Amino acid sequence: MADLDIAWTRLEAAAKAAGQKRIVEFFDAEPERLEALTLDVAGLHLDLSKQAWDEAGLEAALDLAHAADVEGARARMFGGEAINGSEGRAVLHTALRAPAGADVKALGQPVMAEVESVRQRMKAFAEAVRAGEIRGATGKPFKAILHIGIGGSDLGPRLLWDALRPIKPTIDLRFVANVDGAEFALTTADLDPEETLVMVVSKTFTTQETMANAGAARAWLVAALGEQGANQHLAAISTALDKTSAFGVPDERVFGFWDWVGGRYSLWSSVSLSVAVACGWDAFQGFLDGGAAMDAHFQSAPLGKNAPILLALAQIFNRNGLDRRARSVVPYSHRLRRLAAFLQQLEMESNGKSVGPDGQPVKRGTATVVFGDEGTNVQHAYFQCMHQGTDVTPMELIGVAKSDEGPAGMHEKLLSNLLAQAEAFMVGRTTEDVVAELKAKGVPDAEIATLAPQRTFAGNRPSTLVVLDRLTPQTFGALIALYEHKTFVEGVIWGINSFDQWGVELGKVMANRILPELESGASGQHDPSTSALIQRLRK
Ligand code: F6P
């Protein structure tokens, strides 16, 4: 057996053994557990001690990372090799947050001069819009930005805006993503075209939803300002510069990026220009710096003290060792409430693959379902199932240690819930404990017999805690880079290319086939169910 197969077999055996024990008991058996499984990096505190692995399990997981040559893959990514093999591309979103003078090459070609030049243009544009030096066609300063994009051209900037937006922004930033006219109508209803800057964000500049919304926004501007006027209210962010000029965006309002930046990794690029304008450049630069700090850690920390690697290994231990096919991510932070939606694209679009780069089926399960929403809200919604459902779902709970926002006393309540949930997931509540409580309350024995099991919590449900010292541009950047590298490490260990997304193509092609059938009754070949639905919807 090859080393990697041996390492997988060891991990599976170690997980099986650990899975028969209780997590809470590991703390007694392993006096160093807390020390070994907590770490502080770039303003984040990670606690993986409530995970399902024991010492032997962790060791087996680290051996697996070693056998999969995570370190070699990491060097190839940062070295700008064509690790996205199916598209022949390097993967260098890390260059977008690297300092100007860094030596970074994509497929052997230096990239930092171009990166820095776009960054400087972004900065100048952001400052000029904020200062009212760049204005609309009728001379009014821009008070609102309409950011149009979808997927990676939407989820990251939306999350970034929520995380960093001032309490009372001077520029109102709005997002439109879906090709559902209701979203466009609701979002623009109270905007004044004279004071609105429209930013069309699309790596390819061909995405159906984005181009439909961009066309609608252009028409909305033209109706108020005329053709020439409308152009002054447009900016475009894309790698397809020929298409942006065909759309009528003046060249000086086009901000490029590169094919070595995947859509779901693009929030470090001009894709987030709208946020840089609305939050100010310093905040955006802080975000880049936080990402760079995590990059430095990921590249240099030993495997056993490497935050993205440990986070990835915990996921693999749960997914492959213990067959847990979902993970819930719950930020106890209103500002981070869209994190799970962002991670759905990052992790599931990157690693939801069934074959490797050689076209051969993978031998083990890959990406799990990721879901979640903000705590404490979810405690009053789906947490029942997390505590007492038949399936164990590993949890990731994210908190912010210090916050001065809002009314006094609330933040401690928020934190107490975060800690309580993690403890409850692990410790649970025994039937004996419940029985004693019910007896003390004088509940009759017959009732106790049926009530006690319903009030029992099995516990032993693993969780990871990530606590930001404060929610700053830097810690937020470090958090996002942490998840990016975690996703990459998982892809390396699963033996897949995390940087293409062929799985999104089929639906797009079929929608384009169905559209003329809905619009004008053209005929097409479909299964009976789809044909019947087309007929029905045409009516
Ligand atoms: O359909 C999936 C996808 O290609 C994502 O990978 C991407 O982030 C999104 O669509 C948007 O693509 P674009 O930025 O090219 O409009």
The residue from 349, 484, 490, 517 that is catalytic is 349
Q: Which of 213, 141, 205 is nearest to 175 (CA)?
A: 213
> Has residue 392 been placed in a domain?
no
Q: Are 272 and 195 members of one domain? A: yes
> Which residue segment(s) compose the domain that 114 sits in?
93-279
Calpha distance 536→539 (Å, rounded)? 5
Q: What is the pLDDT of residues 465-508, one digit of tens each?
A: 999 999 999 999 999 999 999 999 999 999 999 999 999 999 99
Q: Are 128 and 58 members of one domain? A: no
195 given a catalytic annotation: no
pLDDT band at 115 (very low <50, low <70, confident <90, very high): very high
Q: Are 33 and 58 members of one domain? A: yes
Q: Are 190 and 137 members of one domain? A: yes
Atom of ligand 1 nearest to the CA of 204: 15
485 given a catalytic annotation: no
How far lies 422's CA from each of 37, 49, 348, 532, 533, in Å?
A: 15, 11, 25, 49, 46
173's enclosing H/E stretch is strand 172-176
Pure H helices in 236-333: 241-246, 273-279, 281-300, 307-316
Atom of ligand 1 nearest to the CA of 271: 14
Query: How many angstroms does the Cα of residue 153 sit away from the middle of ligand 1?
Result: 7
> Has residue 426 been placed in a domain?
no
C-beta 331 within 6 A of ligand 1: no
Q: Are 176 and 305 members of one domain? A: no
Q: Are 268 and 182 members of one domain? A: yes
pLDDT of 519 reads 93
66 given a catalytic annotation: no
Residue nearest to atom 1 of ligand 1 (CA): 504
Q: Are 206 and 299 members of one domain? A: no
> Has residue 420 been placed in a domain?
no
pLDDT band at 1 (very low <50, low <70, confident <90, very high): low
Q: pTM for the whole thing?
A: 0.98
> Has residue 409 been placed in a domain?
no
Calpha distance 11→344 (Å, rounded)? 26
C-beta 262 within 6 A of ligand 1: no
> Has residue 127 been placed in a domain?
yes
Q: Are 133 and 269 members of one domain? A: yes
Q: What is the pLDDT of residues 396-413, one digit of tens each?
A: 999 999 999 999 999 999
Q: Are 175 and 207 members of one domain? A: yes
CATH number at residue 97: 3.40.50.10490
> Has residue 411 been placed in a domain?
no
> Has residue 137 been placed in a domain?
yes
Residue 524 three-state SS: coil
Q: Are 158 and 42 members of one domain? A: no
Atom of ligand 1 nearest to the CA of 349: 6
Calpha distance 247→336 (Å, rounded)? 34
C-beta 43 within 6 A of ligand 1: no
448 close to 15: Cβ distance less than 8 angstroms: no
> Has residue 358 been placed in a domain?
yes
Q: Are 146 and 205 members of one domain? A: yes
How far lies 24's CA from each of 421, 426, 504, in Å?
A: 14, 7, 42
Residue with tokens 């220009």, as numbered in its chain: 273
> Which residue type is seen at 153?
S
Determine whether 100 is exposed, middle or buried from the number of CB atoms within 10 Å of its CB (0-12, 13-18, 19+): exposed
Kind of pairing between the strands at 105-106 and 109-110: antiparallel
What total number of domains does the chain contain?
3
Q: What is the pLDDT of residues 404-453, one digit of tens each?
A: 999 999 999 999 999 999 999 999 999 999 999 999 999 999 999 999 99
What is the rounded average pLDDT of the residues 95-116?
97
C-beta 204 within 6 A of ligand 1: yes
Q: Are 193 and 256 members of one domain? A: yes
pLDDT of 114 reads 97
pLDDT of 59 reads 98
